[in-house]
């Protein structure tokens, strides 16, 4: 292969396979070699080489026969190691599931296979997907391909590192408090957090009890090297859980059409409780200006929510959602009472209505993912006790993560993370494009406009 297909987009790979320019078997072989070459990143922790080779050959045979091909036919992919894969170990980053081999695929994996994609293996994560770094007692620490001394983020850190380093065509991860957005931001790739409930979570393992629940606030979504890839992948992933499939189907509203020549977009780059490093702010401003240059009407306005309340509700909601991972009654008590949960739910519904009203006047909202680029590995303590300095202020890792991610996740809104440039230290920075509930195609369309202004994905091997 003369083209470096390992860093090509999913869209390009699928078209090339269908046209006979490259075979699925060649792509699988190239990715397996690349994973071995960059083994020190520790991004792909379980590989199913034999099954991938067999599936790739079958995909190539289908092309030669002239069969009807799916939208991902022959494209190799990986998934976060908390997403069940039939016949392939799925650990959730824990010793508890060190030897667990599911008998069925998670719904998202089944849909990807049905679309023709070829599973390569599983990517690393923190235990129970519970941190903004990626390390665990089973597999160790994943490194950032831009700077091995820094974290790739979490919890879908192995996924983002693999996509950025060209070890996979794409990946699917999860996001409850930023676990898709933070790694995409730290690794310079694209991710999409779908509207809550749009993509089935059945088969996502977040507790010792298995993966039968639709976890509150949490979503599953794609990580890729272009905005168009995210749109293609969402088209495959979106759909009801099996228990609703007899009566429900998904038809996403089309992307909004810009009125008067351009989208009307709110900008939220300033918040007293969410500091931003000057270099990050400069890149955000430049990305916003690029949209203005393409006709967008940008206004410094955001929904009239109490951001501090949204962050607190998100944090408490995540704790409640993740208490099934608890193994003692004392730990389970952290989730609070059902009455407390209902009171918080009422406040969340009010906040969702505020967002919905705001989106009657605006098409999208721009905001940071985080206030700083990737930080050095720091595995002392917990996400609630570790601190870092952002623009001269000390923050816990949890507060750092939820500062910009919490309000969006709490409201269940779709958000596309796009890379917008590099700091002077050569570290990637991303930006969130938040859209109206269930109108996922609108932030994805705006992401393609941003891609035109920023140049899109850059390889860390620059």
Q: What is the pLDDT of residue 208?
A: 82
Burial of 337 (0-12, 13-18, 19+ CB in 10 A): exposed
82 and 203 share one domain: yes
Residues 6+ apart with CB under 8 A from 177: 217, 314, 315, 318, 398, 401, 402, 405, 406, 409
Q: What is the pLDDT of residue 325?
A: 53
CA-based nearest residue to 151, from 126, 183, 193, 177: 183
Q: What is the pLDDT of residue 337?
A: 77
Report residue 65: phi and psi, to 5°: -80, -15
Report yes or no on 39 lying in a domain: yes
409 and 309 share one domain: yes
Q: Check if the beta carbon of residue 130 is closer than 8 Å to that of residue 322.
A: yes
CATH of the domain at 152: 3.90.1300.10
Q: pTM for the complete prediction?
A: 0.96
316 and 270 share one domain: yes
Q: Label the pairing between strands 415-422 and 190-193.
A: antiparallel
234 and 293 share one domain: no
Q: Check if the beta carbon of residue 76 is closer than 8 Å to that of residue 56.
A: yes
Q: Which residues of the chain have pLDDT under 50?
A: 2, 326-332
Burial of 254 (0-12, 13-18, 19+ CB in 10 A): exposed
**Structure tokens that stand for 32 in this block:** 């397996």
Q: Check if the beta carbon of residue 88 is closer than 8 Å to that of residue 122.
A: yes
Q: What is the pLDDT of residues 24-61, one digit of tens each?
A: 999 999 999 999 999 999 999 999 999 999 999 999 99
Number of domains within the chain: 2
Q: What is the pLDDT of residue 345?
A: 85
Q: At what angle do helices 107-114 and 227-237 cross, to 10 degrees?
A: 110
Q: Check if the beta carbon of residue 216 is closer than 8 Å to that of residue 313.
A: no
By annotation, the residues acting in catalysis are 80, 155, 179
Report yes or no on 249 lying in a domain: no
Q: What is the pLDDT of residue 195?
A: 98
Q: What is the pLDDT of residues 175-204, one digit of tens each?
A: 999 999 999 999 999 999 999 999 999 999
CA-based nearest residue to 74, from 90, 60, 87: 60
């Amino acid at each position: 292969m003369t083209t470096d297909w390992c860093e090509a987009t999913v869209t390009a790979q699928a078209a090339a396979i269908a046209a006979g320019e490259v075979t699925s078997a060649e792509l699988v072989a190239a990715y397996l070699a690349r994973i071995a070459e960059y083994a020190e990143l520790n991004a792909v922790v379980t590989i199913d080489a034999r099954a991938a080779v067999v599936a790739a050959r079958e995909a190539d045979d289908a092309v030669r026969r002239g069969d009807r091909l799916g939208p991902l036919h022959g494209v190799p992919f990986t998934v976060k190691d908390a997403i069940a894969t039939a016949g392939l170990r799925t650990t959730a980053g824990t010793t508890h599931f060190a030897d667990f081999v599911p008998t069925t695929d998670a719904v998202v994996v089944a849909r990807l296979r049905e679309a023709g994609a070829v599973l390569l293996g599983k990517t690393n994560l923190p235990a129970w997907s519970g941190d903004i770094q990626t390390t665990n007692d089973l597999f160790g620490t994943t490194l950032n391909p831009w700077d091995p001394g820094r974290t790739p983020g979490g919890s879908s850190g192995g996924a983002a590192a693999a996509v950025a380093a060209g070890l996979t065509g794409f990946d699917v991860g999860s996001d409850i408090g930023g676990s898709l957005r933070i790694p995409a931001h730290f690794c310079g790739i694209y991710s999409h957090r779908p509207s809550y409930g749009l993509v089935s979570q059945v088969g996502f393992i977040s507790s010792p009890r298995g993966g039968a629940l639709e976890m509150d606030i949490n979503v599953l979504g794609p990580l890729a090297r272009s905005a168009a890839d995210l749109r293609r992948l969402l088209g495959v992933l979106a759909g009801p859980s099996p228990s609703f499939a007899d009566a429900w189907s998904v038809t996403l509203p089309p992307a909004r059409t810009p009125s008067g020549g351009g989208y009307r977009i709110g900008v939220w780059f300033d918040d007293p409780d969410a500091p931003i490093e000057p270099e990050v702010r400069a890149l955000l401003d430049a990305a916003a200006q690029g949209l203005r240059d393409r006709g967008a009407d940008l206004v410094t306005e955001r929904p009239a929510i109490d951001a501090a309340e949204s962050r607190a509700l998100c944090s408490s909601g995540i704790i409640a959602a993740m208490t099934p991972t608890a193994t003692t009654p004392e730990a389970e008590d952290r989730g609070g009472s059902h009455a407390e949960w209902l009171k918080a739910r009422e406040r969340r519904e009010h906040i969702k209505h505020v967002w919905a009203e705001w989106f009657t006047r605006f098409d999208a909202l721009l905001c940071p993912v985080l206030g700083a680029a990737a930080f050095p590995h720091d595995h002392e303590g917990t996400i609630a006790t570790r601190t870092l300095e952002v623009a001269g202020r000390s923050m816990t890792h949890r507060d750092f993560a939820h500062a910009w991610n919490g309000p969006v996740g709490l409201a269940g809104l779709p958000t596309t993370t796009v890379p917008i440039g590099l700091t002077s230290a050569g570290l990637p920075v991303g930006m969130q494009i938040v859209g109206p509930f269930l109108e996922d195609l609108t932030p994805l369309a705006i992401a393609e406009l941003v891609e035109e202004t920023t140049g899109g994905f850059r390889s860390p091997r620059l």
